[in-house]
Structure 1
Amino acid sequence: MNAVLIAVTVMLVLSLVRVNVVMALIIGALTGGLIGGLGLEGTIAAFSDGIAGGANIALSYALLGGFAVAISSTGIANLLVEWVLKIVGKEGDSRKKALSKALIVLLVLLMACFSQNLIPIHIAFIPILIPPLLRVMNELEIDRRLIASVLTFGLTAPYILLPVGFGYMFQEIIADNMASSGLEVSMSEIPTAMLLPTLGLVVGLLVAIFFSYRKPRQYKQHTSVAAKQNEESYSIRKIVFAVVAIVAALYVQLAWDSMIFGALAGIFVLYITRAISWKQSDDLLNEGMRMMAFIGFVMISAAGFATVIRETGHVQTLVEHTSALVGGSQALAAMLMLIVGLLVTMGIGSSFATIPIIAAIFVPLAVELGFSPLATIAIIGTAGALGDAGSPASDSTLGPTAGLNTDNQHNHIWDTCVPTFLHFNIPLIIFGWLAAIIL
């Protein structure tokens, strides 16, 4: 039995039956470690070593959540909320309502796409933008599964296709690992190879928007600590200082490549300008940290899970067994390689970390089977990207959940992971396979 396959299956099945994702990751890691021959002590040791690596990102998200709620309390997000509510109108005109839904979807889509390339802050914008918009979404009866799908699309498609920001990092990893595995490719070839797989993501997004989640869905209104303070105090001065805080946080994050110190810089600006009340600042920061606590604990657990399955050595075994099954069939080889990429990324939760694992075997196999360099890029890139959408441990799903579940009405597995898996991984496999055959 392959430890990776069993561990990922256990983790996914437990998550689907509504076992807490953190518990599912721990149990999955324990199962994989034992099957992989690490023994109980070895599995616990590997898991413990892995979770240490997740502490930095957990603290980053906690501080980011605190900063997001503090920013919301200044009233800056409510400007957008009030503007959209004016468009909706008191009469609830159907045409205005449809326009408002389109504006919300477009706004979220643009922000998600920009966060990967134009302003590479990844999921940092979600806890700032999404929680204040929940009131508007509730008024418009927007299905939050649609917004989760839009966010996940924006967090994945741009870096797969565009060689800017996180996209440059992803494509550089592809090029470097393919070169180290014996196949030199140009960075300029990667967007061409990834165009068809990205089109699959676009198809999935269109299905989600116009078919799957077009019907209204009702949610209860919820008032947070930040919203309560927002009703009590609202001024242009606070909004101006909120903008300054956002700029400061963005500058520090990009200049020093640290989400922790970026969030601290933003919070510091809000403190010294008195944009947030000293008396209520502790409650605000605590609420924000609680909002992001779930994603932090999942990322810590996911780091431990990934370390355990790497230590078993069964990732390499899975790839080698897949290679042995294909015979001389390009079509079968491409499909199996994509499925292996899906399994590995679903467990690890990172497409960036999957590429080095699979490239060492997939590149020689692709060359041996006669795949062109462009087709090989499409296989490696698509196999790496598969699972980023839909994985319970991926920040591309955890980020949307953290923003959409601030009022406890959005389930991580059934409202984020399952919809994004169905709408993005399935078409990505189909279009990635077509790219491998056509190119």
Structure 2
Amino acid sequence: MEVEMAASISPFALQVSVERHRLANGLRVVLSPDRSAPVVCVAVYYHVGMRLEPQGRTGFAHLFEHLMFQGSPSLAKMELVRLVQQNGGTLNGSTRYDFTNYFEVMPSTALELALWMEADRMRGPVITQAELDNQRDVVKNEIRVNVLNQPYGSFPWIDMQERAYSNWHNSHNGYGDMADLDAASLADVQAFFDTYYSPANAVLVVVGDIEPSETLVLARKYFEEIPATPAPAAPDISEPRQTEARRFSRTDPLANRPALAVSYHLPERGTPQFYAMGLIHQLLAAGDDSLLHHELVTRRGYTGEVDASLNFLGHMHNAQTPLLWTVVAVHDDEVAADAIVEAMEGVIAPLRETLVDAETLERARTKARASLLRTAGDSVYPRFGLADLLAAFELLEGDASHVNEIDARFAAITPEIVLETAREVLRPTNRNVLVLEAGAAS
């Protein structure tokens, strides 16, 4: 057992109490007490996401997320949902690049119930052919609604990753190919569960109004006897260094305005350069005070909004690299995509040429800290934002307590590191430009 207590870095830094344990079956348990409200979040993260699923079974991680809500030998279909709601709670699950998660936010008096339900889910669902067929149709309909029949439905996430990445694990469509989904069998379902849904491939996180020692006793009671298989070998998800600029285009038949996405490959997670890009993101594209917003929206009027991210399916802290820093703009027909790219380059180039001043860098740190605190304080699912951060650091860096280092990692970034990072990451030969033509324009 390891205990990490918050050591103050700055009055506004994210600092939380973190306890880490490992059960006999390999399940990692992370506990973080916060007694400011009688609420608890129980979350289980399995280290399998869209880019970790096996070839020939695209979309299977997402399909399996659906299947894990279909009941167990102890709970009938939808009974888990009913129990959560009857006890004043809420729940959800999601499939991301590197993990699939399931969580409940409950009154702290229902902590034991939540732990029992997640342990029951981990023991295995009851999946019949009828349930598999039903949920396969649900997922396929989700693809039709959210992607195929939606303007900008695959833009920029699916469109850009298919073009900017060369490694199949990163480039394939995580929603899934219809043929792969149709080919999924009950044997595939069992094999996927046996391979990836082992306690040794999972993290249990409990955040909120808890007594850690009592919570650990409950975790052992409900989870420790679940049989485990060894965690699967991690696939190679690395990408080669990009050495030439790339430009792509496609027509969206449902879009009535053209759009542009510009992506750069990010440095490795956890490195100073990765955190430098977090600060560069704040300077260039986060908020109405950002440099790109000033140039593209306020000064030139090329677009009404500049959107940017370091992770299509989350934020910079809850995904493994490779990742892309992507800037997106929907614009009018009379604005040429090349004009936007040229204007962006005019804003970016100075970062490759001169040191940022101390005041500018501190403003970026302040914005990054504010963004992190908003993430941790998720207002939709109380306590989940912090649970998500803890689970991500435990899965991806091997230590949930690293959340307490985030502020220090940003603080360690100097103007020289920003300059070095901008020269490597924001060079034109690391750039991917995707032009989306408006097929529905009148």
Do they fold alike, i.e. is TM over 0.5? no
Relative contact order higher in (CA < 8 Å, ≥ 6 apart): 1
Normalized per residue, which structure has more strand? 2
Normalized per residue, which structure has more helix? 1
When the two structures are superposed, what TM-score results if normalisation uses the length of structure 1?
Answer: 0.27
